[in-house]
Each structure stands twice: as structure tokens, then as C-alpha cells.
Chains A and B, each alone.
Chain A
Amino acid sequence: STAQAKELKLAHFMPPVHHLHKAMFAPMAKDLAAATNGKLTMKIYSSGALGKGPVQQYKRVVQGVADIAFGVLVYTPRLFPKTMIAANPGVGRTSTEVTEKMWKIYDKHLADEYKKTKLLALFANWPSVLISRKKPIKTLADIKGMKLRVSSPADVPLVNSWGAVGIHMSVTKTYTAMQNGVIDAIQIAPSALQRPWKLAEPGEYVSQGVKGVASLFFVMMNKQSWDGLSSSEQAAISKLTGKAASIKVSTTWGGADKKALAAAKAGKQIQLVTIDPAEAAKFDAASDKAVRAALAKADKSGIKATEIYNALTQ
């Protein structure tokens, strides 16, 4: 019966106080109910209420455990080898820019990675900076031999190309690891300096100016749930999601990173280091070489990785 109200289940694994819950999911639910006069609503199951942990989010939405699921691409990188290319350095300087670039090439290059679901949002966070303790990172020589935490195993060869020792570690462990000197530096988005990760406390310096890596996120809807909606209901969802909504959320989220950088510049808790352009170029040249090598390897496995990266960096 089409007259009956429908409720969509949205599953994510963060607490309800998380930025994305407040800035994206809650407003989306509110706007959808308003746009459909309460005929189509969205119930948010936060903190993994419909299933534990981030790894299975894609599976959950494909199999219909939830109608809509939020996930992080890096937990299942093999599923999205083409999209993951957008996480590489050089794609953009801000979260908005990276997100825009992804959507620019989406139809031509990425769409076939999302065939099993209805993609509602695809966005990036702010490209990474380098947070260090004891020693400020100003030159390639500074970073040589540093234990540098990265957020994706794919980033290990990248920072190794700078002479650092890349260690893949979950963000939840970084505070203690930095405090105890288990790691010397962290590659991460600048907003991690502030709550909840508070890396400005164990960190002494934050270095910017080098091309950073981004984390990528999706919101997807189960195909059958989508097909089961009337065209007006689909239109209501489409209006609240897609390219424009993705760019918007990446921009508001990026506001937190800008704030963190501004605070660092004001010298609150941590000291901002802007790497000299000539020196940054050396970092970027090394990164570029590592990226090109990874792309060439991916090319051989049958995806047009170099072509996609070139399209993203144009």
C-alpha cells in the first residue's frame, strides 16, 4: 500500500555527537520527512546499533541489513580501486576540491564501482598535514627515519619515499602512541588536532605545505529499497543527496580543519610550520614518483589508474 508511511533505516557506526551525524544525517532525516509530509522518513541507527564496526558497512547495505549505510572506503579498499585513486596527494588542497574532482570524473570513470547500490553521497575529508613531536618537519632531512603514522596501508610506500618509516595505525591509538614516542609523527587531517582526537596535546608542531592524502566516505542505499520507492519519493531523496549534497558536507566538515589550522597559526597548543615551497616541491616530487609507481602497477591489473589520476589532477 503506497498510502502507508515508509521508514528507511540508516546505519552508521559513529556516536550521535559526531560531526557527520549532526551536520549530515540528522538534517537529511528531517528534510526528507518535511519534503514528503512524513510519508517517507529516515530512522538513524548510530553507534553500530544495526551491526558492529565499519568494515561490513558495504555488505550491510548491499544485503539489506540497513536501507542506507555510511562507510569509509579505506576499510574495503579493494572494492573501490578507482575511487581510491582520489585519495592520492595532488588531487586537491581542500576537502571541497577533492570532492568536486571526484564528482567531475564520476560518470566516466567511477560509476561502475557503485552498480550494486544507489550511491547517495561520496565525499572526501581535508587532505592531510604532518603533526610531529620534538622535531618540526621543515625539510626532507627532518622527516628521515621518523616513525610516521598513516591512516591507510596504501600510504606506507608514499611516506617511505620521503625516508620516513610508515606505520599503519588506527586513529584511536594515535594520541597515546605519539605521547609515548611509539611514533614521531602523524599524517592526518588538521581537524584531528582538536576534539575528539586532541592531537595538539601530544604534538608540538604541525607542518603544512606538502600535498596530502585524503580519506574518502560513502553513503549508499540498498538497490531494492530504492526501487521500491515511488518516483516522487525518489525525487525527494535525490534532491537531498548526490553531488551537491556531497560537496556541501565536505565543505562544512572542512570548516573544522580550517579552524584547527587557524588555531595552530595563532600558536594555541601547537606551532604551525609552513614548509618552504622549494622544499615542499622535493616532498611532492618523491610522492609523485611513488604515486606513479602505484598507478603503473594498478594499470597492469586492468584499471585505467594513470588515466583516472590524470583526469583528477587536471
Chain B
Amino acid sequence: MSVTAIGFIGLFFLFLFLVLRMPVAMAMLVVGFVGTWVVNGTVPALTSLSGEAFEIISFSQLTVVPLFVLMGNLAGVSGMSRDLYNAAYKWIGHFRGGLASATIVGCAGFAAMSGSSIAAAVTMGRVALPEMKRFKYSDSLATGSVAAGGTLGILIPPSTGMIIYAILTEQSIGRLFMAGILPGLLLTGLFLIAIYIVTKRNPEKGPAGPRATFKERLASLRAAGTIVSVVLMTIGGIYLGWFTPVEAAGVGAFMVLVIALYRKELNWPKAKFVVLQTLRTTATVFMILIGAHVFIPFMALTEIPEDLVTFLVGLDVGNLGVLIIILLTYIVLGTFLEGLAMLVLTLPIVYPLILQLGLSPIWFGVVVVIVLEMGLISPPVGVNVFVVRGIAPDVPMGTIFRGIWPFWFAMAACLAILVAFPDIALILPNTMFD
């Protein structure tokens, strides 16, 4: 049997296992191991298996994962998300749709401390949803803005999605983080525009909130200022080359810990919650990476990725055509595939293609993250929608999905702008010291 045939049998089993609800990491591990065994023999397969697993578990750059996740979780329980929302609320809450806008801005701020979109949606949702309910916001706009705002968590640095992309493609984590900043701000702006359009057409969906006094506004800024300084230290420190992303994560986690202790916000139940959450997310990322690193050498052996790349590059649609095919495929896959799963399953094929097309891998990392964000809120499987539903169980799923469309189109617009002007993503990484 040819290696290509073995490769296709492997892919068949991969999809079978996934359909039968085997965890993605495990499916890649099993197919990668057995496939390498068949192609390469027992000893090489076992060596690859344990060798790649340990290479990932001991990969010192990946200390960035537990540290940034810890920082985000600490920020989540220590009331910092409330401070952020409060500040945004006090400044823009009195506009039409202002509370939804404050949610988006709060999410963007929280995203600068947390690498996960779920964490951003949960933390900001708990704070913002009751407020919007109180001011008679429509359920669709309220839940939609939380679900969509939460997705900023993986675009604005830090980002677990970008870390996984960086490790799989051997790109610099720091550069990818920097590349996410401006597109993150752009998307935040586009979300605000989406809210403006929705409430302009249906003012009753987002009535104006109370107007805060100037004194209240200043006080809210002071509270949020602590968070802003943590963000400037960590993200700014990476940009200026003061420290590596790993060190920034350690410094950030330490600062947030000190602030939480100083404010007496951290008790033992909260600490337990933070630690266990951090470990759970850490293991999720590591298992996915281990699975991918056992699976990828098998795919390389079968030559399937190579053949597919050759085929796609040979299509008579031009580079832009191939790129559009890739992005549309991702958007379709994203409707029903979980984001991290989609990333690790597709990158072995798509990444060489991107290199072949001469596109910037850093820019593509940002683009891929935005496509993942679209998947997070699109039906039938939208993880962030499920998360929001968990916080607001009385709102039907259909209502949440209806609230999401304006934001989904904002993401599509952001994607188009980035394809047209790649420099939005590349200007910061290109000017950073590293």
C-alpha cells in the first residue's frame, strides 16, 4: 500500500473518531501514532510518541500558557472586569446602545489580560447582562454583544489561540501578539459601529442609560487605571523588548495577584477556583499540542499535505483566489468545529500553502484568529453563544444567534479590511524591538 493510501485511511479514522466524540487531541494522538507505526515501524513510532509529547510538555516557551491563563483568571475573580465595565459605562452608558458599547469596550480591556474568549464572555457577561436587563435592553442585543465582545479575548493579546498558532508554525509569540493589537482595536470599533446601526434602526433595543457626573467618571477611571497600567506593563514590555512574552506573563500574573491580595478580593474559594481553572485550560492547550505534534509527522510522511498544496497552488484562480477559498473554507468549518480543533487539524495543510503563496505568516495568524472568532459565535456550534446561554439561561438560543449577526458582519468587514490592508496587522510587529 502506498503511503498516500495509508494517509487517507488515517484521515478517515480521524474523522470517524471525531464524529464518535473522541477528544480532538486523543484522536490526533491515536491516528498519528498508529499511522507512524504502519509507515515507519514500531520503534520510530514509539520514539515519536513519547519524544514529541515530552518535547511539548517541557517546551520552556510554553510556560507562557499557564502564566497568562493565571493572569486572566486572577483578573476575572478580583473585580477588575467590574472596574473596566464601570469605567466604560460611566463614560458612554448614556448614549443610545451605550451599555452594549460599554460591554464591548469592557471586553476589549479584559481581553488585554486574558487569553481566552470564553473567559472574557463569562466574566463580562456576569457583570454586564444584569445591567442591560435593568435598563430594558433587548435580549438579543445584550447577549449578542457579550458573546461577540468575548471573542476579542483571542485577538487582543495575550491569546491562547495565537500561542498555539505560533508553536505549530514556529513563529514568534511576541510578534503575533503585537500583530493582534491594531486589528483588535479595529474590530472593537466595528462592533461599536454595529451597535450604533442596530440601535439607530431600533432605538428600543438599546435605550440610553443614566448620565454619570464628571466626578463619577474620574473615579471610575482611577479604578480602571490600575488595570490599564498592568496591561501597559505587560504588552508594552513585550513591544519594547523589556521582556519576552513568557516573562511578561509572569510579571503580569504577579502584578494582578498582588493587586487582588491588596484589595482583599482573593479568598480561598476564589483561589481554588483560579488554580483549577488555570490547570484545566493549561491541560487543554497542552493535550491539543501534543496530539498535533504526534499527528503532524505522520501527515508529513504521507505526503498528503504536499500534494494538496501543489494542487491548490496549481488552481487557476490566482493567489487572492486561493486565499479566498481558504478563508471561506475556514468560515464554513468554523460554523460546526471548535476553534482550537479547527486550527490544529487544518494548519498542517494550510500553513505550507500560505508560505507557498508568499503571504506573511504573522498576518495570516491574525486573519485565522478572526475567522475562529466568527466560528465562536456562528450557529449551529458557537461556543461563546453556549457560554452566554449558561449565564442567561432564560434567553432562548435562537434569540442570542439573532443578536449576533450584526457582529458577525462586523468581523467579516474586519477580515476584508485586513486582506486589503495587511499593514494594519504588520506595522507593530515590524517596528518592535526583537
Contacts and interface: CB of A to CB of B under 8 A. Distances in A.
Is there direct touching of A and B in the complex, by C-beta distance under 8 Å?
yes
Nearest to B3: A7
Most buried by A among B59, B297, B301: B297
Interface stretch (B45-53, B88-96, B218-226, B365-373): B45-53
24 contacts: A9-B301, A15-B170, A47-B170, A49-B297, A50-B301, A51-B48, A51-B51, A51-B52, A53-B55, A55-B55, A56-B51, A59-B47, A60-B51, A63-B43, A64-B40, A64-B44, A65-B44, A65-B47, A65-B297, A173-B244, A175-B434, A176-B244, A179-B241, A180-B242
A65 B300 CA distance: 12
Contacts of B40: 64-65
B193 interface: no
A176 B434 contact: yes
B300 A45 contact: yes
Most buried by B among A15, A52, A176: A52
Contacts of A51: 48, 51-52, 55, 297
A23 B210 CA distance: 70
Contacts of B44: 63-65
Tell me the interface secondary structure of chain B in the complex: helix
B309 to A, nearest CB: 13
A153 interface: no
Interface residues of B, number: 22
Given A176-B241, A180-B241, A52 B433 contact: no
A267 interface: no
Interface string A171-208: 00101100110000000000000000000000000000
B241 A52 contact: no
B300 A52 contact: no
Nearest to A180: B241
Nearest to B55: A52
Interface in B53-106: 55-56, 59
Contacts of A45: 300
A48 interface: yes
Nearest to B299: A49
Interface of A: 9, 15, 45, 47-53, 55-56, 59-60, 63-65, 173, 175-176, 179-180
Nearest to A55: B55
Contacts of A56: 51, 55
Interface in B231-249: 241-242, 244
Given A63-B43, A63-B44, A65-B44, A52 B56 contact: yes
B296 A49 contact: yes
A62 to B, nearest CB: 9
Interface in B135-180: 170
B162 to A, nearest CB: 18
A9 B301 CA distance: 9
A95 B283 CA distance: 45
B372 to A, nearest CB: 23
A60 B47 contact: yes
A50 B55 CA distance: 13
A181 to B, nearest CB: 11
A34 to B, nearest CB: 22
Contacts of B434: 175-176
A50 B43 contact: no
A104 to B, nearest CB: 34
A51 to B, nearest CB: 6
Nearest to B300: A49
Nearest to A62: B47
Most buried by A among B51, B56, B170, B301: B51
Given A49-B297, A51-B51, A179-B433, A64 B242 contact: no
Contact of A59 (B51, B241, B297): B51
B293 interface: yes
Most buried by B among A50, A56, A59, A173: A50
B41 interface: yes
Contacts of B47: 59-60, 63-65
B43 A52 contact: no
Nearest to A15: B170
A205 B361 CA distance: 34
A180 B43 contact: no
Contacts of B43: 63-64
B417 to A, nearest CB: 30
B341 to A, nearest CB: 20
Given A49-B297, A49-B300, A63-B47, A180 B433 contact: yes
